[in-house]
């Protein structure tokens, strides 16, 4: 592992989001000109990322290989106690063919791994941390990153195995991803019989949810295409420690002046703007975790819910807002079942995509938005519309503010960044959200993905719980289907199966209410 001191909170954000146990922070982005455009995840028309041309001029050499501050944050803050890697997973129906052999599965993946050459890289540190860490081309073979288990297992056991990814972070000085397969899994939702489960543990420094589509197409598509990762520079052929040190030392005075100038400009803009804060402290709930360095590290629990959205899409509410509504109802009912009060100011964290037309923000292009969950609105359709409207307002109102904040934080010289991260890690964490949601829209309405002639059933992704939030959700969906992964700390959500049942029921109610409300408005 790297000897780099590993801090955990995002200095670029005045309202840090901390993912990974304990004390991680949000991924950030480097400054863009013109200022980036924000969009609520899954609310805009999808684009097939793997077919996009490069969104920025080819940036080769040392500067192009350097990690942005946002991507470097994901590298610095992932430790055994604070794993910030994430997992994407795929389920395939074995059907009459039965479980594939390990040899079959390995042959299929070997034939596709060339489309993932962009991931074959590792991180090198700059001596003395005078400059940003940089990417170097890797030589790790598929066999070194692939593990296949042919032992029959259950869906619940497979989910528990998937959660072990949050026990051991990837060493980015060796590899950026690894892949695990279970060829005989019983009880997966939607499968007619035993299934094959594949899951990839990937680093947030190199991949975000927007690449799920491209990685899936590369590995399983009938017409595979090389994975494209917007904002990821070309790696160097080999480490260049002397060159990296000289470049870092030469740029450091300029980077310090730029950082101070942007801080001053941001402070002046905030004073002149006189707007109410976009993120406010909220009443704590049992889902909030008080920082405690002595708390034992917990392996999170994962549950999967697959609601049917037929009839609910296109009703004036995005999938993100629909899902947040179901989450708010499930959270409210879970609290009540435990005789806990559900505060009126209940809020959730939503990761918002940041547009980057010049491609200078690196891989991580997200900002944290606070979404009111309106527990006092009883009607599910009305609550969904209220949450949708609030999200849209937040997107519009925070566009310039978030852009300035991202610019300011992303300009931080890496030479001082690890020290600042450690300082922020020790700051008290206010309660701003009871849960978190990330949403990814799948492009294909009917994905043609398969593995060894076993058809794709569904897939999703899972992120780790936060240092201050013990319950998070991820959404991956197409036209009418949605895969919801609920990830919870056992000490926070002590009855995860009860919560998953409540979440499934809430989705059914919200979809039914939206469908009925639309019909009722017709003449």
- DSSP codes, 340-395: ----TT-EEEEEEEE--TT--S-S--EEEEEEE--TT--SHHHHHHHHHHHHHHHH
Distance CA 443, CA 479 (A): 8
Strands in 143-225 per DSSP E: 146-149, 153-154, 177-186, 195-202
User: pLDDT value at position 13?
Assistant: 42
User: pLDDT value at position 355?
Assistant: 64
User: pLDDT value at position 478?
Assistant: 73
User: pLDDT value at position 41?
Assistant: 38
Kindly tell me the number of DSSP H helices and DSSP E strands found in the chain. 12, 16
User: pLDDT value at position 487?
Assistant: 97
Q: What is the pTM of this model?
A: 0.85
Least Cα distance to 413 among 68, 74, 124 occurs for 68
Query: Each residue of 198-213: pLDDT tens digit?
Result: 999 999 999 999 899 9
User: pLDDT value at position 289?
Assistant: 73
Distance CA 237, CA 106 (A): 28
What token pair was written down for 344? 């009126």
What is the bridge-based pairing of β-strands 177-186 and 153-154?
parallel
- Kindly report the average pLDDT of the chain as a whole number: 83
Distance CA 417, CA 262 (A): 16
Distance CA 484, CA 462 (A): 9
All residue ranges of the chain with pLDDT < 70 are 1-60, 273-275, 290-294, 355-360, 399-403, 426-428, 443-446, 518-523
Query: Each residue of 134-177: pLDDT tens digit?
Result: 999 999 999 999 999 999 999 999 999 999 999 889 999 999 99
User: pLDDT value at position 356?
Assistant: 59
């Amino acid at each position: 592992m790297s000897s780099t001191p590993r801090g955990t909170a995002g200095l670029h954000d005045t309202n840090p989001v901390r993912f990974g146990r304990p004390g991680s922070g949000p991924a950030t982005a480097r400054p863009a000109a013109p200022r980036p455009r924000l969009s609520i995840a899954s609310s805009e028309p999808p684009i097939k990322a793997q077919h996009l041309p490069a969104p920025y001029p080819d940036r080769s050499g040392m500067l192009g290989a350097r990690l942005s501050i946002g991507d470097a944050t994901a590298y610095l803050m992932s430790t055994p106690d604070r794993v910030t890697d994430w997992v994407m997973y795929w389920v395939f129906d074995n059907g009459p063919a039965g479980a594939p052999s390990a040899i079959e599965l390995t042959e299929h993946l070997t034939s596709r791994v060339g489309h993932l050459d962009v991931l074959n890289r590792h991180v090198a540190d700059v001596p003395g941390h005078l400059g940003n860490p940089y990417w170097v081309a890797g030589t790790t073979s598929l066999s070194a990153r692939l593990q296949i288990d042919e032992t029959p297992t259950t869906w619940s056991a497979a989910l528990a195995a998937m959660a072990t990814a949050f026990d051991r972070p990837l060493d980015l000085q060796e590899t950026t991803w690894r892949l695990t397969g279970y060829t005989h899994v019983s009880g997966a939702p939607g499968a007619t019989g035993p299934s094959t489960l594949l899951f990839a543990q990937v680093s947030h420094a190199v991949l975000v949810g927007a690449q799920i589509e491209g990685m899936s197409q590369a590995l399983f598509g009938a017409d595979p295409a090389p994975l494209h990762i917007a904002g990821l520079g070309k790696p160097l052929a080999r480490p260049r420690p002397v060159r990296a040190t000289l470049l870092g030392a030469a740029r450091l005075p300029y980077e310090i002046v730029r950082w101070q100038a942007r801080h001053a400009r941001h402070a002046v803009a905030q004073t002149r703007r006189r707007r109410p804060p976009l993120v406010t402290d909220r009443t704590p709930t049992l889902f909030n975790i008080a920082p405690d360095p002595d708390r034992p590290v917990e392996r999170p629990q994962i549950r999967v819910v697959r609601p049917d959205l037929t009839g609910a899409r296109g009703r004036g509410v995005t999938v993100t807002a629909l899902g947040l509504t179901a989450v708010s109802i499930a959270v409210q009912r879970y609290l009540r079942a435990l005789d806990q009060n559900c505060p009126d100011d209940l809020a959730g964290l939503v990761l918002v995509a940041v547009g980057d037309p010049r491609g200078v923000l690196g891989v991580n292009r997200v900002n944290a938005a606070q979404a009111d969950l309106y527990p006092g609105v009883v009607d599910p359709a009305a609550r969904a519309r209220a949450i949708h409207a609030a999200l849209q307002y937040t997107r519009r109102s925070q566009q310039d503010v978030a852009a300035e904040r991202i610019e300011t934080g992303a300009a931080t010289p890496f030479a001082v960044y690890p020290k600042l991260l450690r300082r922020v890690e020790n700051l008290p964490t206010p309660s701003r959200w009871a849960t978190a949601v990330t949403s990814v829209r799948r492009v294909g309405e009917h994905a043609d993905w398969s593995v060894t002639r076993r058809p794709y059933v569904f897939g999703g992704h899972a992120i780790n719980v936060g240092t201050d939030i013990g319950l998070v959700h991820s959404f991956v969906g197409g036209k009418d289907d949605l895969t919801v992964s609920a990830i919870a700390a056992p000490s926070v959500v002590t009855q995860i199966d009860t919560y998953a049942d409540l979440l499934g029921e809430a989705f059914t109610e919200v979809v039914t209410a939206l469908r009925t409300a639309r019909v009722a408005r017709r003449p």
